[in-house]
A and B are shown apart, each in its own frame.
Chain A
Amino acid sequence: MNMYIHELKAGKRSTIIWTVTLLAILILYMSFYTMIKNDADAFVKIMEGVSPVIRQALGIAINQITSPLGYYSFVFSFILFLGALQGMNTGVNIISKEVRDKTADFLLTKPKTRVSIITAKLLAGLTCILITGVIYIIMSAIAMSLFTGETYNMTALILISTTLLITELIFYTLGFLTAVIFPKIKSVISVSLPVVFAFYFAGLMASITGDELYRDLSIFKYFNPMYIILNSSYETKYLMLSVAIIIVGFALSYVIYSKKDVHAV
């Protein structure tokens, strides 16, 4: 319990900063909605001269992306990137800091099992991410009503916003596992940023090319907002895949951490 509280205190500042950042991006980008909607409406009017086939194709695309949920999904893709970074950072940091700050021998000589140490750390990080996730979900609903003023499918919104939490958890697991495997991580951000960026780029390629392989690789594309808007549910395959990654990741972390050599000063 002491360890859990200690880790929560240590993570308080960064959790606050991350939550505020996510909300700031949400509010800044959502505030453009009315303007973009007007741009789009004006453009759809101009389009009347062109051939019906093209007008229809582009018209549907524009309507989709400038509907309240469509625009929110666009904004959400940036939020997801930051969230993934928070998750990865939290996971890498919570494990690697003991060795980096030379406090590993202090902690590991306490009459505590490795399992209880890693459990306390795991839960503390999880708590931080849950707090961010829940605040974000509530704020996303408020921001939607505030900036769009139109009716939308509330269930779909909540489902989309919840994928932030799931994505954060996946990256938290990855970060946790990374820090357990690599004995000495000198700088957290220089590990987490390139990893998250790589996944983000794979996601970009997935959406440009529509390639299934890219999609399985890119965690960012596991939950397609358009699918959620249409079906008000997640794709089962990717929900299972996410849960599997999280469970396997934590199980591996437990096994490795209980046995590994930890270098004292």
Chain B
Amino acid sequence: MNIFKREMRANLKSLIVWSLSMVMLIGAGMGKFSSTSGASAEMTELISSLPNSLKAMFGFGNFDLSKAIGFYAILYLYIIVMGAIHAAMLGAGIISKEERDKTTEFLIVKPIKRHTIITNKMLAAFVNVIILNVITFSVSYKMVSMFTLDASLFGQIGMMMFGLFMIQLIFLTIGAAFAAINRNSKKAPVLATSTILIAYFLNMAVQLSGNLSFLKYFTPFQYFTADSILNEGTISIGYVVLSIIIMVGMLTVTYSRYEKRDLMV
């Protein structure tokens, strides 16, 4: 419990900075929305019949930009990338920092089992991720509902935030697993962020090319897209299951590797 409290305190500052950045991102984005910015009805219709590759290139996807939620949908990709960066660095840092700061010895000689240490650290990271998610949720809802108050709005943003939450947990556990595997404490954050970049570029490649769609399973950014949430109105159960499998797999790696590995002191 002490470890949990200690980690909560240690990450407080960075959580505040990340939350503020998230608020700024949504605020700056939605602040620029005006319902007149959308194109005429005929234009919108024409745009919706564009091939997917061109939609991706123009950057407006499958969304109606004259509606606040359509505008928000464009921001959504950047929101989940931010969430992913925060989670990955948190997961990698919370485990690897002991070795980086040469405090492993101090921690590990305490009468606490290694898996208890991991559990406490992961719990603290989990709470951090939830807090960022709740803040994102409330700011998003507030900003979008300023322009339109639609009964379905809460559900739509709720689903997007569930997607964000899944992405956060995936990258949190990936970061932690990298930190648990690597003896070199400097490598974990680099590997975790590289994973995000690779996922991001794969995401774009999938959107641009029709015949690489099998690659979408390899990039979590394709699991919960604003497109599928807004236009189909559902979250695919298959991707939720896939996400949970990834998380459980990464957690297993984290526990088993950290339990056995020689720690650098």
Task: Please pick, from A62, A186, A197, the residue contacting B85 in the complex, using a CB distance under 8 A.
Answer: A197
Q: Which residues of A contact B46 (CB under 8 A)?
A: 47, 50, 54, 58
Interface digits, A194-211 against B, CB 8 Å rule (1 contact, 0 not)? 100110010011001101
The answer to whether A54 and B43 touch across the interface, beta carbons within 8 angstroms, is yes
The answer to whether B49 and A35 touch across the interface, beta carbons within 8 angstroms, is no
The answer to whether B208 and A198 touch across the interface, beta carbons within 8 angstroms, is no
| Contact count A vs B, C-beta below 8 Å | 88
- Cα-based distance from A204 to B51 in the complex (angstroms): 22
Is A39 on the interface with B (CB-CB < 8 A)? Answer: yes
Tell whether A209 pairs with B32 under 8 Å between CB atoms, given A54-B46, A78-B204, A189-B189. yes
The answer to whether B54 and A62 touch across the interface, beta carbons within 8 angstroms, is yes
Q: Which of A56-106 contact B (CB under 8 A)?
A: 57-58, 61-62, 65-66, 71, 74, 78, 82
- Cα-based distance from A208 to B32 in the complex (angstroms): 9
Is A32 on the interface with B (CB-CB < 8 A)? Answer: yes
Tell whether A51 pairs with B189 under 8 Å between CB atoms, given A35-B210, A78-B204. no
The answer to whether B93 and A43 touch across the interface, beta carbons within 8 angstroms, is no
- Cα-based distance from A217 to B100 in the complex (angstroms): 35
Tell whether A42 pairs with B51 under 8 Å between CB atoms, given A32-B208, A186-B100, A194-B21. yes
Q: Which residues of B contact A211 (CB under 8 A)?
A: 32
Q: Name the CB-closest residue of A to B29.
A: A205
Q: Which residues of A contact B193 (CB under 8 A)?
A: 189, 193
How many residues of chain A have a CB within 8 Å of chain B? Answer: 40
Tell whether A197 pairs with B54 under 8 Å between CB atoms, given A58-B43, A189-B193. no
Is B57 on the interface with A (CB-CB < 8 A)? Answer: yes
The answer to whether B53 and A36 touch across the interface, beta carbons within 8 angstroms, is yes
Q: Which residues of A contact B58 (CB under 8 A)?
A: 61, 65
Is B25 on the interface with A (CB-CB < 8 A)? Answer: yes
The answer to whether B190 and A189 touch across the interface, beta carbons within 8 angstroms, is yes
Tell whether A50 pairs with B42 under 8 Å between CB atoms, given A32-B209, A190-B189, A193-B193. yes
Q: Which residues of A contact B53 (CB under 8 A)?
A: 32, 35-36, 39
Shortest distance from the beta carbon of A117 to any chain B beta carbon, whole Å: 22
Is B201 on the interface with A (CB-CB < 8 A)? Answer: yes
Is B197 on the interface with A (CB-CB < 8 A)? Answer: yes
Is B240 on the interface with A (CB-CB < 8 A)? Answer: no
Q: Which residues of A contact B89 (CB under 8 A)?
A: 187, 189-190, 193
Q: Name the CB-closest residue of A to B185.
A: A187
- Cα-based distance from A193 to B191 in the complex (angstroms): 13
- Cα-based distance from A51 to B28 in the complex (angstroms): 35
Is A159 on the interface with B (CB-CB < 8 A)? Answer: no
Is B205 on the interface with A (CB-CB < 8 A)? Answer: yes
Task: Please pick, from A57, A74, A188, the residue contacting B57 in the complex, using a CB distance under 8 A.
Answer: A74
Q: Name the CB-closest residue of B to A28.
A: B205
- Cα-based distance from A71 to B57 in the complex (angstroms): 9
Task: Please pick, from A39, A42, A78, A209, the residue contacting B201 in the complex, using a CB distance under 8 A.
Answer: A78
Is A254 on the interface with B (CB-CB < 8 A)? Answer: no
Is A40 on the interface with B (CB-CB < 8 A)? Answer: yes
- Cα-based distance from A193 to B205 in the complex (angstroms): 21
Task: Please pick, from A39, A186, A204, the residue contacting B54 in the complex, using a CB distance under 8 A.
Answer: A39
Task: Please pick, from B54, B74, B85, B197, the residue contacting A194 in the complex, using a CB distance under 8 A.
Answer: B85
The answer to whether B85 and A43 touch across the interface, beta carbons within 8 angstroms, is no
Shortest distance from the beta carbon of A93 to any chain B beta carbon, whole Å: 10
11 A-B interface contacts by CB (under 8 A): A28-B205, A36-B57, A43-B54, A47-B46, A54-B42, A62-B54, A71-B57, A186-B100, A189-B190, A208-B74, A211-B32
Interface contacts beyond A39-B53, A65-B57, A201-B25: sample of 11 additional A-B pairs, CB < 8 Å, sorted by A: A32-B205, A32-B208, A32-B209, A35-B210, A39-B51, A43-B50, A50-B42, A74-B57, A78-B201, A78-B204, A187-B93
Q: 6 closest Cβ contacts across the A-B interface?
A: A39-B51, A209-B32, A32-B209, A36-B53, A32-B208, A187-B189
